[in-house]
Structure 1
């Protein structure tokens, strides 16, 4: 089928590293299924991606897989400037400036002189709700792709009920320590019983107008306006939550884990030639270092693209790693530590020499799949969680914000594949949990369960599995109807 006759899908990503990665995996899968793809980033994100060689080959695109950008009103990142995902600034700029530029882009693509097929359907990150204005005006279906977990989506959805019940916003800062966060929440459909502290940290505010809290509430409550919802999960992992969502949303399709579906695209497919998109330069030398390590001996440490540590927290994690005696690969982004840089003394370097590798960014999917990696100290972002499950790697959890708290609860208490570090991190606890995960009896049991979940994920995501069948059903019922 020629490019000019293919059905054109436009994918709009939320301009953060994890959301872009997940949407790109979906776009590659849809391209493999025969669709013409236009992948859209905001201009600020697009310019940052252009700064790194690893992303350039992907951004070259293909005749039927193209990249585009829309104005977000932010100035381009300087060449010498370290990239920082300033969440509030990026969200506010996108909400203000992207709706008009998004409509202009689709209008231009649909012009007969554009040289591409008209856009048949928009697939937007479920938090990029500004796309609804354009698709409603143009009469184009708009599918939401939820890049967070179903438990995370459900958590966000019922924030509004917590506000209406008077539990949020907090009455004062005292509610952070007086037991209020231990309030039992046992009425959310499909969700296990949780305490408030195990729901999104965005609820821990005294300000009803808090930007990020209202952003996620508005996002999930716009979902009923979508044509359909795709969740990046598989049914066995979050079945009760999927059932609950199906009863209150447009058609719901669990098509995941997306990182694994994209892995099954044949090497002879043109989509397989597309690389990844990275805001930071990947250090590939860590793979050579891992090659020298024994199977299951290395703890991988990465807090994702948005987490920030205080200097004290970074030092506690550092000494916990050093004192554990375990080999570790630690990703420290340039903007990971806020305030004064964490100063790990010469003694730390001497103590961990030969068993530590510290870098600013790495190819995470490849690292987790490496035989030497036996554990993952993580912030519990959904990409990291699913990639860890798909690699059969157990987790030590230190959630930071967003959906990460509820992901952590499910990882540790429902799926049984991780252990949680207390918010007030100490080197003693870090050391103890690392030793338990890597060497202890509980660690062996967690590893066993992680391998079981990996097998279930593979079963869902392999060709002919449940997620591929759901993809076919989605294409038939939503796109091609």
Structure 2
């Protein structure tokens, strides 16, 4: 019997990508694979630091070898500059990843790398490495299939004069629909049209176009979604294979892949003391930023709701204004609130005390809310999050929009009113429970996502 199949898994260097790809890596280990997980050096250090701060957190490293490769960014440089980061990765990560593959053939006790699973958002370079080294390849899209479908449809969007062929900028039409049963898309929300200046957008568009071409030649295109969530998209784009929703961010009760140490025990102990379906959970992922006014309106809206709340306030969430709470706010809400810097989100959403989720609608958060049957107050920040909001509010109808006033501010009165409306809406609650059941059935043995993943595993082993 030969060595186990050895998968190299490479995420895009952002937390919303590291977490689902690390779960996929663990799922491969469960099925007999050896796995090397290649993070950027910067994120490799952050993940290790967060895991080492947890009791027994490092034990998970017995399952997966974590490797670090350079992203080309200087120490202290802004890694939220996604365009520069993406360009630098191609120059610096690609040779390091290729050397990982070649070195595994020369001297690796775990055996040679036999296949690669790469984040779609890395662009074409990772799949080019797989082609040059002769290993099998799969690309995983860690967002909604509908958004991936827009990338695969770029030639048609150009042909229909919806976007410009040179830079992807919007032409006359502000919205489009790939099929009657799919969400309406806004050209302004396309990934390359909402990041940086025009030059940055054009550069990102060219990288995405190269990625679309490269993906056409890989063995599988996986997606962290499930058939019933996006049935129309999967029918129209059969190359996209749903294998989710992943149980992201947690393994055997331990958080994995986080950049900040979750405040596990404190969060769960506090939730244990709250009545069933009473708590408003508020979290905006690893990227959303607020100005001072909006941050304070959110705080006052949670206070005005009169309900207990668990609020995740990242250290960098407010451009330096993060600790600039309204005067006396923390004292006034102390007896019915908990404010933390990061939380074990999967465990929080699964807790019976949680009644609703005020969310930026990142796809990981969307799938976690769906999988746990928690209604949403949808508050997207950029790019695909607006499509996810459309799914939540218009297609699945498991949440309500947080809507800004004429000045562009989501007011405290609106926040409090929406929370009350959401928690009292039995129709939303019923639809949420139905979708939860479909999500959970898809990943059970015999479910559509489970079967798709097993098919993928068998092909990578062959």
Give the alignment's TM-score, normalised by structure 1.
0.85
| Structure 2 unaligned regions, length at least 5 | none
Partner of 1:469: 451
Q: Describe how 1:353-364 pairs up with structure 2 within 5 A.
A: 353-364=334-345
Question: Considering only aligned residues, what root-mean-square deviation do their CA atoms show, in Å?
Answer: 3.0
Partner of 1:229: 221
Q: In 1, Cα distance between the equivalents of 2:345 and 2:232?
A: 30
* Displacement of 1:184: 4.0
Contact kept in structure 2, 1:232 and 1:254, CA below 8 Å = yes
Change (3 A) 1:198 1:258: farther
Partner of 1:413: 394
Partner of 1:370: 351
Partner of 2:426: 444
Change (3 A) 1:158 1:313: farther
Partner of 2:303: 322
Deviations, residues 260-302 of structure 1 (Å, cap 9, x unaligned)? 7x98xxxxxxx85975122112112121111111000001000
Change (3 A) 1:217 1:432: farther
Q: In 2, Cα distance between the equivalents of 1:277 and 1:433?
A: 32
SS at match of 2:397: coil
Q: Describe how 1:32-431 pairs up with structure 2 within 5 A.
A: 32-52=30-50, 53-54=52-53, 65-75=64-74, 85-111=80-106, 113-129=107-123, 130-158=125-153, 161-162=156-157, 167-168=162-163, 183-186=174-177, 188-189=178-179, 192=182, 194=184, 196=186, 199-200=189-190, 202-204=192-194, 207=198, 209-210=200-201, 211-246=203-238, 249=239, 252-259=240-247, 272=252, 276-284=256-264, 285-338=266-319, 340-341=321-322, 343-423=324-404, 424=408, 425-431=410-416
Q: In 1, Cα distance between the equivalents of 2:18 and 2:186?
A: 29
* Displacement of 1:136: 1.1
Q: In 2, Cα distance between the equivalents of 1:367 and 1:343?
A: 26
Q: In 1, Cα distance between the equivalents of 2:428 and 2:187?
A: 24
Partner of 2:16: 18
Q: In 2, Cα distance between the equivalents of 1:468 and 1:144?
A: 18
Greater CA deviation, 290-299 or 347-356? 347-356
* Displacement of 1:245: 1.7
Q: Count residues in correspondence.
A: 449
Contact kept in structure 2, 1:379 and 1:397, CA below 8 Å = yes
* Displacement of 1:359: 1.0
SS at match of 1:464: coil
Contact kept in structure 1, 2:175 and 2:187, CA below 8 Å = no
Partner of 1:268: none
Contact kept in structure 1, 2:302 and 2:309, CA below 8 Å = yes
Give the alignment's TM-score, normalised by structure 2.
0.88
Q: In 2, Cα distance between the equivalents of 1:302 and 1:35?
A: 34
Deviations, residues 148-199 of structure 1 (Å, cap 9, x unaligned)? 1101212344456556655557xxxxx99xxx78x4423x147535252784
